Structure 1
Amino acid sequence: MRTFGAVVQALREHAGLSREEFAERVRFSRHTVASVEQGRRMPDKVLVERAEHALGNTGALRKASRHLARHPGLARWFRAWARIEQTAISLCTYECRVVPGLLQTEAYARAVSLSVPPRPDPAVLEERIAARMARQALLSPDRTPPANFSFIVEQAVLERRTAGEEVTRELLDHLLGVVERCWNVEIQVMPLRQVVHAGLDGSLQLAETPENEWFGYSEGQQNGRLIGDAKELSMLQHIYAKMRSQALTPEDSLGLLKRMRGAL
């Protein structure tokens, strides 16, 4: 939105229009125009069309506006990563707090959302869960091209039995089903007892774009950080590779998941 707003402002200034003059031509208030130019407001479709006519019909604003979306149900700090995630050809995820969103069941997602205060408004909760479930379409091996997924999840996260045995039973069935259905998804469990653990600094994600460019993402309390620095990405890739060697193999992880499921 900030980039789109900067383009609007640049075209307006190139046309020699003040903000007041431009607002008059597009028949929106000066305040609305300022909010769009500063990236604080999603541009209305009508404003985009009127701005095109006012600024020379280049088509630039019309084309750029297609890449803007509100991403309902996603935290503001997660949205940039969600856009990268949508087109990634490989995605690596290490989680030590909860089961990754791409692997959650609806009941588990609901329990996680309700566990962390403040409790969300019912409408916000449903929007959040719907967005999380919709993201799971990314796992499909029928995508063209399909993406490769690697997940490392702490055993303690599964042993916690968030929301009780019934929800955990459904969650384990779901994880086993994902492994069975999706040849492009690999799940590894980091065992409870691991003397040397490369991931003690916390959860992380890595994604490779169709252009073979890598990005990273780390998340904390009410914030997330998109990582593009090559040196930092190299370090994170080394950490993730080390954790893959320290976690149970995919086969042993599958066996553990089955034993955990049988114990419930």
Structure 2
Amino acid sequence: MTGGQMTAAAFLVAELRRARMRRGWSQEELAKAVNYSPSLVSAVELGQQPPAAKYLELVDRALETGGLFGRMLTELVSLDKAQVWLRGWRAILEQARALRWFDPLHVPGLFQTEPYARAVFEADDLLDADEVERRLNDRMESQGVLYGDRPVRVVAVVDEAVLRRRVGSRKTMSDQVSHLARLATEHPGVRLHVVPGTAEEYPGLNGPFILATLRDGVDLAFLGGQIGGQELDQPENLRRLLRTWEATLGAALPPQESIDRLREVAESWN
């Protein structure tokens, strides 16, 4: 729903659910018929996972709809001007194959140490102690995507001002920046760039953003904000953010020089 009006994507999802129920099938029965997992069928019907064209082709065949849902996808959903599939940041992380991350304000959440993250949350007077703990636990748990069987690959750009702005104690900053240097040196799926303090104004300073490539090939962006975040998948928005990313990366130091700068800044906090 957007502005109180149903989008074509939401209508497609609703009709998928109605067609299954008219057939008298459970989600498990439809999953078996199309050779997909019940969890994917559920995610599609909740609007959490965009149905691929192949999935809709199999659903059309199983429910004998004459190709209705495939036509809806190509002829209606593509006309939506609103964001079609809202996944949520945690779902994006778990589904991501690669991330390009820029933040001119804080160390990217995936790379934050626990003391640094705690200091970030405790600086917000609007958060009570329970909410600080909830957010802290969620942030630490989210870092699991860097490890495991299919770790996400991350290229991140951090402004040097972030590394020199005190968050928590001096030890917190020393440990945090040292952690970044270790990640950049030892983690095969992480590449870190630092925009030096001597750099002039560059496009990325307009605000933090993340470009995500998901395992199903979908590209989208996530913009951070004071209240939640904004997901974008429109091609013109993605092209604009890609240009911003390229300009920001161009302002940053190469990988080894960035590691040297991280080590230098970490030492300065001792």
TM over 0.5, shorter chain: yes
2:119: which partner in 1? Answer: 111
- Residue identity matched to 1:143: D
Query: Paired residue for 2:195, among 180, 184, 190?
Result: 190
| Residue 239 in structure 1 maps to residue 244 in structure 2 | yes
Change (3 A) 1:56 1:186: closer
| Residue 85 in structure 1 maps to residue 93 in structure 2 | yes
How well do the aligned residues superpose, as a CA RMSD in angstroms? 2.8
Distance in 1 (alpha carbons) for counterparts of 2:145 and 2:238: 23
The question of whether the paired residues in 1 share the 8 Å contact of 2:98 and 2:213 is answered with yes
Change (3 A) 1:14 1:187: same
Give matches, 1:1-264, under 5 Å. Answer: 6=14, 10=18, 14=22, 56-57=25-26, 59=28, 63=39, 64-65=41-42, 80-120=88-128, 122-140=129-147, 142-144=148-150, 146-263=151-268, 264=270
The aligned length equals 212
Residue by residue, what CA displacement relative to the aligned partner does 1:155-192 show, whole Å, maximum 9, x if unpaired? 11110121120111111221122123211101111122
Task: Give the Å deviation of 1:65.
Answer: 4.3
Distance in 2 (alpha carbons) for counterparts of 1:82 and 1:58: 24
Change (3 A) 1:259 1:58: closer
1:27: which partner in 2? Answer: none
Compute the TM-score of the two structures, normalised by the length of structure 2. 0.69
Distance in 2 (alpha carbons) for counterparts of 1:87 and 1:171: 26
- Residue identity matched to 2:267: G
- Residue identity matched to 2:145: L
Task: Give the Å deviation of 1:261.
Answer: 1.5
1:45: which partner in 2? Answer: none
Task: Give the Å deviation of 1:8.
Answer: 9.6
Residue by residue, what CA displacement relative to the aligned partner does 1:171-218 show, whole Å, maximum 9, x if unpaired? 122112212321110111112222241213211100111233210111
Q: Secondary structure at the match of 2:100?
A: strand
Change (3 A) 1:243 1:186: same
Gaps of 5+ in 2: 1-5, 32-37, 47-85
Distance in 1 (alpha carbons) for counterparts of 2:106 and 2:118: 12
Compute the TM-score of the two structures, normalised by the length of structure 1. 0.71
Distance in 2 (alpha carbons) for counterparts of 1:13 and 1:143: 37
Distance in 1 (alpha carbons) for counterparts of 2:133 and 2:87: 18
Gaps of 5+ in 1: 16-54, 69-77
Q: Secondary structure at the match of 1:226?
A: strand
Q: % of aligned pairs identical?
A: 26
- Residue identity matched to 1:256: R
